[in-house]
Structure 1
Amino acid sequence: MAWIPMKDKIKITKLEGIDGWGEPIWGESREVKGRISEQTRIVLNQNGEEVSSRYTLYVSPKEVIRYGDKIEFTDSSGLTISGEPLSIKAIKDYGGKVILRKVSLR
């Protein structure tokens, strides 16, 4: 497991699909523990484009997060932030084992 404290609560809602009107169909929501870092960074999105990310979330490697899922949390100012992942990366240790998932949000 990771060596950083996972004290922040993060709500993840799965995207099940798109209806006939082009609206998202949301699945189950669950709350997980993670770490929220508020720092603006330039990341590559799933299309290879450079985009700015304001928040970086670190969660357990067991958590499955996909592009299109809705992520909600409360930042250090008390504001509720909601968004979709811009970038999802697996962080591995020297042995190749995944120890964290790194998710960037706008």
Structure 2
Amino acid sequence: MPVVPMKQDIIIERGETINDYGKTIPDQIIEHKARVDEGTFLVEYRASSNVTSKEVVAKAKILLDKLQDVRYEDTISYTNELNETIKGKPKKINVRRHLSGKPILTEVFI
């Protein structure tokens, strides 16, 4: 039983094969129950005294039950309640452990 409720679904696409038409298709598609916390923030850069640029950065933190096989080469996609799809490769993967040393959660940032 998970530590936190896992009510969202994510899809992990692993590996690539090129078909006859030159399009890439994933070799494996793995579905998981997960907890996804998503958000955005604004980053402002100042290049010179009067030129600034603004960039919106989106991020999502995905919690998976126990120790899951997630790799940096995988592509993870998630569709939220507003029917917006967030798709990306993992930037950071953490395993959270209990005091006994058993893994409780796998934390993935995309």
The TM-score normalised by the length of structure 1 is: 0.72
In structure 1, the gaps of 5 or more residues are 42-51
Q: Is the 8 A contact 1:10 1:73 kept in 2?
A: yes
Aligned residue identity for 2:98: D
Which of residues 71, 80, 94 in structure 1 aligns to 2:76?
A: 71
Instruction: Tell me if 1:91 matches 2:67.
Output: no
CA distance in 2, matches of 1:24, 1:93: 40
Aligned equivalent of 2:26:
26
State the identity as a percent. Answer: 32
Q: Is the 8 A contact 2:67 2:95 kept in 1?
A: no
**In angstroms, what is the RMSD of aligned CA positions?**
2.5
CA deviation vs aligned residue, 1:23-62 (integer Å, no higher than 9, x gap):
9773210211000011459xxxxxxxxxx76100001224
Distance 1:53 1:100, change over 3 A: farther
Aligned equivalent of 1:2:
2
CA distance in 2, matches of 1:73, 1:92: 25
Distance 1:24 1:62, change over 3 A: farther
Q: Is the 8 A contact 1:15 1:70 kept in 2?
A: no
CA distance in 1, matches of 2:107, 2:74: 14
CA distance in 2, matches of 1:70, 1:95: 32
CA distance in 1, matches of 2:68, 2:24: 21
SS of residue in 2 equivalent to 1:85: coil
Task: Please identify the structure whose Cα radius of gyration is greater.
Answer: 2
Aligned residues: 91
The TM-score normalised by the length of structure 2 is: 0.70
CA distance in 1, matches of 2:104, 2:16: 27
